[in-house]
Amino acid sequence: MHKETKQYYACKIIPKNRIVEANLDQRFEAEIRIDQQLHHPGIVQIVDLMKDNSNYYVVMEFCPNGDFFQFIIDNGTIPENIAAFSMKQTLEALQYVHRLGIAHRDLKPENLLLDAQNNIKISDFGLSRYVGQNGLVDTPCGSPCYASPECLSGMPYGGCASDIWSCGVILYAALTGQLPWTKRNQQQLFDQIRAGDYKVPENISDLAKDFLVGLMTVDPAKRFTIEQALNHEWLKIAPAGLSQQKAANPPKLVSLKAVDRFFDYDVDSPDCDVLDSPTTTRGQSFYTVVRELEPQTNKLPKIKTRQLAIPPRKAASRILQSRPVHHHPKIISLQQVRK
């Protein structure tokens, strides 16, 4: 808790030896630099960076209502208007990210956090990548159940289009309380995803079905673009929220020079001056930094997040009445995925 403002923050504590031993220092730096670039009310903001001899400390906005995964588990199937509200906010934040030429590449309910008003905030850019002009990436990554067919193809693929597919799987989970995949064996699961072999839920509206299929179309060229998704009729049932208003009391953001200091760069060197120069296009300088830091490893391991001076957890949204999750014996449940 900030002593003067009495505002709560979350702090991610990363042991330095863990990063060095796994040769993940470049990936960690790339993640922080991407986070520093993203200033949007639908994205968890970094507000401070600290370190000592043992750990890095990344102080972030505190989202007291947990993640969207637990929100689904707690509430079972989510009413369409609430699901549309959450999906609209996710897509608006994602549109901002994509316009900067960045693909998230690990979208899943666990990486969608909920603030005190249950507004969605995208988090965890550990697998994100600046995709450049052609929009292609060549490293399959992310969580298998949310990965797109092209991500599993072994060929270069469009990172931003792949994010749209992941949004479709998230929406499927929100509307049904289940994932769309029935296979447990990894190879069979991958084959099912590549084939787009899923059953469209019968108990949702026709508009919801059309929207879901548009997100989860196997051919990325025929899949909804993010603009098409945001203009879809189904999203109009979403109640007004953060997507239609400016964030109240936006956090003070970390500067690029603060990030340079965090990673022990000489902030008075010509290189650092160029990166922070107002005459330099921030997107271009950011592209140069991230391309130089492009990691060879596939995935940053899960890093435990600790909350500092956290008040008692607030209850999940009262918009929804808590209901048990009903499981189909042949469908992978969300709890099984987490296990």
Which residue from 223, 230, 249 is spatially nearest to 7, judged by alpha carbons?
249
Sheet (strand 9-15) strand order? 46-51, 55-61, 9-15, 305-307
| Cα 86 to Cα 104: distance, rounded to the nearest angstrom | 17
pLDDT digits (tens, 9 = 90+) for 31-57: 888 988 899 999 999 888 888 889 999
CA angle (45, 50, 55) in 5-degree steps: 115
In the chain, ranges of CATH 1.10.510.10 domains: 68-245+326-338
C-alpha–C-alpha distance, residues 170 and 229, integer Å: 14
Average per-residue pLDDT in the chain? 76
The yes-or-no verdict on residue 226 having pLDDT over 80 is yes
Percent helix, percent strand, percent coil in the chain, to nearest 5: 40, 10, 50
Q: How far is CA 27 from CA 50, 252, 290, 299, in A?
A: 18, 25, 9, 9
pLDDT in tens, 182-223: 988 899 999 999 999 999 999 999 999 999 999 999 999 999
Residues noted as catalytic: 106
pLDDT tens digits, 248-302: 444 555 655 665 565 555 434 333 332 332 233 323 322 332 233 233 223 323 3
Fold of 68-245+326-338: Transferase(Phosphotransferase); domain 1 (1.10.510)
Asked if 71 and 172 count as a contact pair (C-beta separation under 8 A), the reply is no
Question: Rounded distance, CA 202 to CA 225, Å?
Answer: 24
Question: Where along the chain do the CATH 3.30.200.20 domains lie?
Answer: 9-63+249-307
Whether 71 and 317 have beta carbons less than 8 Å apart is answered as yes
Q: How far apart are CA 198 and CA 212, in angstroms?
A: 11
**Stated pTM of the model:** 0.75
User: Model confidence over 140-179: pLDDT tens digits?
Assistant: 777 889 999 999 988 889 999 999 999 999 999 999 999 9
Listing DSSP states for 127-162 in one string gives: T-EE-TTT-EE----S-GGG--TGGGTTS-EEHHHH
- As a whole number of angstroms, the distance between CA 6 and CA 315 comes to 21
Beta bridge partners, 157, equal: 137
Q: What are phi and psi of 210, to 5 degrees?
A: -65, -40
Q: Which pLDDT does position 171 carry in this prediction?
A: 98
Tokens found for residue 214: 């548009």
Contact 299, 278 (CB under 8 A): no
Fold type of domain 9-63+249-307: Phosphorylase Kinase; domain 1 (3.30.200)
Per the CB < 8 A criterion, the answer to whether 115 and 10 are in contact is: no
205 vs 167: CA distance, rounded Å: 18
Handedness of CA 231, 233, 235, 237 (dihedral sign): positive
